Amino acid sequence: MNYIRILLVEDHFLARMALRSVLTVRNGMQIVATAENGSDAIDRYFEHRPDVTIMDLRLPGMSGFDAIRSIRQRDPDARIVVLTNYDGSEDIYRALRAGATAYLLKDTSGAELVEAVRATHRGSPYIPQSVGTRLAQRIGVEVLTAREQEVLALIVHGCSNREIANSLGIAEKTARIHVSNILGKIGVSDRTQAAIAAIQRGIVHLE
């Protein structure tokens, strides 16, 4: 039998064991390697060349986003299923832009995970309706610059314009301009709404 060879990237031991159980009881699937962080995921990928990689996004050290991007840069044919608790529209957008071919939340059923792995192995994208709906919220939204993302993270943490300026080494007037641009881009009227939107959409994560 030709098995679908899977690399499983998940930093929690019990979650890895549960996923191994779900996947290996299905005919035609085999876990060939596991990794607990993004850096190891890259090493294991190029060591084993799996047919499908199942990748969490929240990992110690290098994030799943960066691991996906690194793998796809070196192997554009890599087939990667994201399995995560991150459900923000920005998270979905970033993962797919990095090169993921499927996106599932961790409350998905075992049957849907298996279906996603099989679809990904066939070369078909797999985006459940609920994920697609969230992604649609992201389409058409202006992209924040790297500096604006830094400013938004500081807004989420309650920093004033002066504190933002001091933290980033910029003028307070420049910080105020960044804040104004951010409000316009994400379509909110004040800093509190900006902070809420940033968390809900997955632009900023509270660790």
pLDDT, position 186 = 79
- Give the distance from CA 65 to its chain's centroid: 5
Same domain as 176, residue 103? no
H helix or E strand, kind and range, residue 82? strand 80-84
Same domain as 73, residue 169? no
pLDDT-based confidence at 49, cuts 50/70/90? Answer: very high
* Tokens encoding 28: 């035609």
pLDDT, position 189 = 80
Same domain as 197, residue 130? no
Residue 99, domain member (yes or no): yes
H helix or E strand, kind and range, residue 6? strand 4-9
Number of domains in the chain: 2
Q: What is the mean pLDDT of the chain?
A: 87
pLDDT, position 121 = 93
Same domain as 12, residue 113? yes
Same domain as 105, residue 184? no
- Burial level of 137, CB count in 10 A (0-12/13-18/19+)? middle
Residue 173 CA to residue 62 CA, distance in Å, equals 34
Task: Give residue 26's identity as a one-letter amino acid code.
Answer: R
- Give the distance from CA 32 to its chain's centroid: 23
Name every residue whose Cβ is closer than 8 Å to that of residue 39 and which is 6 or more positions away in sequence: 61, 62, 67
Enclosing domain of residue 179: 146-201
Q: Which of 138, 161, 186 is the last residue of a domain?
A: 138
Tell me the percentage of the chain whose pLDDT exceeds 90: 47
- Burial level of 182, CB count in 10 A (0-12/13-18/19+)? buried
pLDDT, position 163 = 93
Mark out the alpha helices in 78-205 (DSSP H runs): 89-98, 110-121, 129-138, 146-156, 161-168, 172-186, 191-201
Residue 192, domain member (yes or no): yes
Same domain as 27, residue 68? yes
Task: Give residue 13's identity as a one-letter amino acid code.
Answer: F
pLDDT-based confidence at 45, cuts 50/70/90? Answer: very high
Q: Please tell me the pTM assigned to this model.
A: 0.71
Q: What are residue 82's DSSP bridge partners?
A: 55, 103
Residue 207, domain member (yes or no): no
pLDDT, position 128 = 84
- Over residues 74-85, mean pLDDT: 94
Taking residue 11's Cβ as centre, other Cβ atoms within 10 Å add up to: 17
Contact 40, 14 (CB under 8 A): no
Span 125-155, pLDDT tens digits: 888 878 877 776 665 556 788 898 889 889 8
Between 26 and 170, whose confidence is greater?
Answer: 170
Ranking 66-80, 91-105, 160-174 by mean pLDDT, the lowest is 91-105
Q: Which of 138, 159, 177 is the last residue of a domain?
A: 138
Ranking 48-57, 87-96, 159-168 by mean pLDDT, the lowest is 87-96
Same domain as 96, residue 63? yes
Looking only at Cα atoms, what is the longest distance across the chain? 66
* Tokens encoding 59: 């990992």
The enclosing domain of 110 has a CATH number of: 3.40.50.2300
pLDDT, position 178 = 92
The enclosing domain of 193 has a CATH number of: 1.10.10.10
